[in-house]
Amino acid sequence: MISGIDINHMRSLAGNAYDFGPGISVVCGPNGSGKTTLLEAVYLLSQGFSFRAHELKELVSWKQNEMIVRGKFDNDGITCNRGVRIHMRGTEARENGEPLRSAAQFFGKCPAVIMQPSDIELLRGAPETRRRWLDEILCFRSAANATTLRRYKRVLQQRNQWLKQNKGECGGAVGGEEVFQVLTQQLAELGAKLWTVRLELVGELSPIITSYYRKLSGGVDEITCAYKSSILSELDGAAESGAEASEAALQEVYLRKLQKLEAVEKINGLTMSGPHKDDLALKISGYEMRSVGSQGQCRSAAVAMRFAAVDVASRYVCKPILLLDDIFAELDTNRRDAVASLIRDKGCQVIIATPQVEDLPFTADAVIRL
């Protein structure tokens, strides 16, 4: 849990200090007062990145040269002090006074899960949104998964760079065909590893998401959750879910597919198949929710996905900090009560941003007014 945070020149917050207890803390105030920014600061120190900014320099207040955020975490009697300084020359991150290579090294020790109105994009948005959600949870399960994901992205970037160079007017990429074949082999190996751990994760998540959705919808309808990849349909004798597929089989099929696409990829200058093209399919009555789900159904599914992330983090790391950014205004009475009940059952530290404390379906342990 996080016990305190100091924020200096982060968006609209300057020179502010806040204390948090182990229960439910409510941050309230008018629009534009910095409620979401406070949640973002906690998330930054927990996860090592922002849930709404692509680059950390976007967090620095207007017309300021730097931003500093410091936080104190207490887990099982162990205190951890973290700090991030963002300035014109880059970003500095420290943990217990020791410098880190980047803020990303915070990830995986004191996790946080954010719930916000824009989570409906987990259902309605592009596949990239769902892949990002899936990979974040994947990294909760194991540091090895984070390494596999990082290596896959690096090799993919190198292969794409080779393809773009080869596509150019000169038509000569650095290293020639030999380098391209090495990168293709590495991509197939890492892609197979990534598929294996993603499929295991989806197998774990699917019943959890289904169960939470049932509670949130009052059992009115059911949803299913499955991994979606063109590779899985090409596995000989394997189920479409890919649950029975071995890493060796996945690697063989992927390598064969890359070889078939080689000519087309060289024309387009882009790797056209792999885990970076996959999706997570959530369906209701056999149809994908992104197409047929109502607003209420999609919001319930998004909340179910976030609670599933809480469960995975609790199992493999520790109970996460649960951050709620004014989500109750988007839910009907029954769903509000169901979410409130689930929050109480989790026993996590909770920090909620809302304009009106009186609108919450439960009593707060502490109130921070902005």
Q: Are strands 287-288 and 279-284 parallel, antiparallel or unpaired?
A: antiparallel
pLDDT at 175: 67
Q: d(Cα 56, Cα 91) in Å, to the nearest integer?
A: 8
Identify the bridge partners of residue 211 per DSSP, sorted by sequence position.
Answer: none
Pick from 78, 153, 135, 147: nearest CA to 109: 78
**Is-contact 11 37, C-beta < 8 A?**
yes
b/e 60-86 (16+ beta carbons within 10 angstroms → b): bbeeeeebbbbbbbeeeeeebebbbbb
If DSSP codes are grouped into helix, strand and coil, which group holds residue 10?
Answer: strand
d(CA 179, CA 148): 21
pLDDT of residue 167: 78
Which amino acid is residue 224, in one-letter code?
Answer: T
pLDDT value of position 244 = 60
Please report the pLDDT score of residue 78 as a whole number. Answer: 86
Residue pointed to by tokens 């991509």: 187
Query: Domain-by-domain residue ranges, the chain?
Result: 2-111+320-369, 124-291
The predicted pLDDT at position 231 comes to: 86
Contact 84, 93 (CB under 8 A): yes
**What is the pLDDT at residue 357?**
86
Nearest Cα to Cα of residue 211 among 139, 307, 326, 136: 307
- Tell me: domain 2-111+320-369, CATH 3.40.50.300, correct? yes
**Is the separation of the CB atoms in 314 and 211 below 8 Å?**
no
Give the pLDDT means over successive 10-residue stretches in the chain (370 positions): 95 92 92 93 96 92 94 88 93 95 92 95 95 95 94 96 80 77 96 95 95 90 90 65 73 94 92 95 91 91 96 95 90 88 92 88 88
Provide the pLDDT for residue 241: 45
- Rounded distance between C-alpha atoms, residue 72 and residue 4, angstroms: 5
The answer to whether 261 and 273 have CB atoms below 8 angstroms apart is yes
Of 312, 105, 338, which is closest to residue 213 (Cα–Cα)? 338
**For 171, phi and psi rounded to 5 degrees?**
70, 20
Query: What's the pLDDT score for residue 125?
Result: 94
CA distance 210 to 214: 6
Q: Quick check: pTM over 0.85?
A: yes
Task: Give the E-state strand segments of the chain in sequence order.
Answer: 2-8, 16-19, 24-28, 66-75, 78-87, 90-95, 98-100, 112-115, 223-228, 279-284, 287-288, 321-325, 350-354, 366-369
Structure confidence at residue 172 (pLDDT):
67
Q: Please, is 2 exposed, middle or buried when counting C-beta atoms within 10 Å of its C-beta (0-12, 13-18, 19+)?
A: buried
- The number of CA neighbours under 13 Å toward the Cβ of 350 is 28
Which CATH number does 124-291 carry? 1.20.1050.90
